[in-house]
Amino acid sequence: MKRSKKERQRLLTEKIIENPFVTDEQLATEFVVSVQTIRLDRMELAIPELRERIKDVAAKNYENEVKSLPLDEVIGEIIDIELDKRALSIFDVKEEHVFQRNGIARGHHLFAQSNSLAVAVINDELALTAKSSVIFLKPVKAGDRVVTKAIVRGQHSEKNRTYVDVTSTVDNELVFKGEFEMYRTKGVEES
């Protein structure tokens, strides 16, 4: 059953309020219309594109939480963080992030997303990567959305070290794993 434009726009607004991270493609599939129709509806309703919605959510929720680096220096968009515990970010791979000849994402972009998330999760004014061990498990291509999760595994207060495990997935499939040893200026109990 085809919905009227007014009804579709009402439901579209509800969906985006419910999940600000929903893509235009997902909305087009759900409402059985073209992506262009969804974009036009969003424009009429003054609803920003996904990237701007993510930035708004991150700025409102995490701007005062992240201490170790400015939010705009994090590669990808932080969508959830609890300092010294866990963090989550997303990174949309675009044409400028891939090799021209094979369309595979350059590894330094995936590493940068993981590394910057490992830095951001540290509850300290200064956090630096002391050591890392990473594994690239599957190629990532333009158009993929990389969801990266950082989990603080442990801490060594005397050495001012925090150990962070990072995993990256595309469509719930593991594409990258990393273990990061992070230096921090203060011990955990001082933070």
Residues 88 and 111 in one domain: yes
| Closest C-alpha among 92, 9, 16, 14 to residue 53 | 16
Q: What is the pTM of this model?
A: 0.67
Assign residue 18 the CATH number of its domain. Answer: 1.10.10.10
DSSP state for residue 71 in the 8-state scheme: G
Residues 69 and 40 in one domain: no
Q: Is residue 154 part of a domain?
A: yes
Residues 16 and 94 in one domain: no
Q: Is residue 109 part of a domain?
A: yes
Distance from C-alpha of 82 to C-alpha of 71, rounded to nearest angstrom: 14
Q: What are the residues facing 165 on neighbouring strands?
A: 151, 179
Distance from C-alpha of 186 to C-alpha of 191, rounded to nearest angstrom: 6
User: Which residue shows structure tokens 């919905």?
Assistant: 3
Q: Is residue 55 part of a domain?
A: no
Which of helix, strand or coil describes residue 110?
Answer: helix
Residues 149 and 74 in one domain: yes
Q: What are the residues facing 183 on neighbouring strands?
A: 128, 161
Assign residue 104 the CATH number of its domain. Answer: 3.10.129.10
pLDDT in tens, 56-90: 665 555 554 666 666 667 888 888 888 899 999 99
Band (pLDDT 50/70/90 cuts) for residue 11 is very high
Which of helix, strand or coil describes residue 112?
Answer: helix
Residues 14 and 38 in one domain: yes
Residues 17 and 81 in one domain: no
Q: Is residue 52 part of a domain?
A: no
Q: Is residue 21 part of a domain?
A: yes
Listed in order, strand segments (DSSP E) in the chain are 77-82, 86-92, 127-136, 145-156, 161-170, 173-184
Q: Which domain holds residue 165?
A: 61-190
Band (pLDDT 50/70/90 cuts) for residue 20 is confident
Residues 126 and 154 in one domain: yes
pLDDT in tens, 87-122: 999 999 999 999 999 999 999 999 999 999 999 999
Residues 65 and 41 in one domain: no
Write out the two tokens for 18.
Answer: 């419910």
Distance from C-alpha of 172 to C-alpha of 126, rounded to nearest angstrom: 32
Residues 160 and 80 in one domain: yes
Distance from C-alpha of 64 to C-alpha of 68, rounded to nearest angstrom: 11
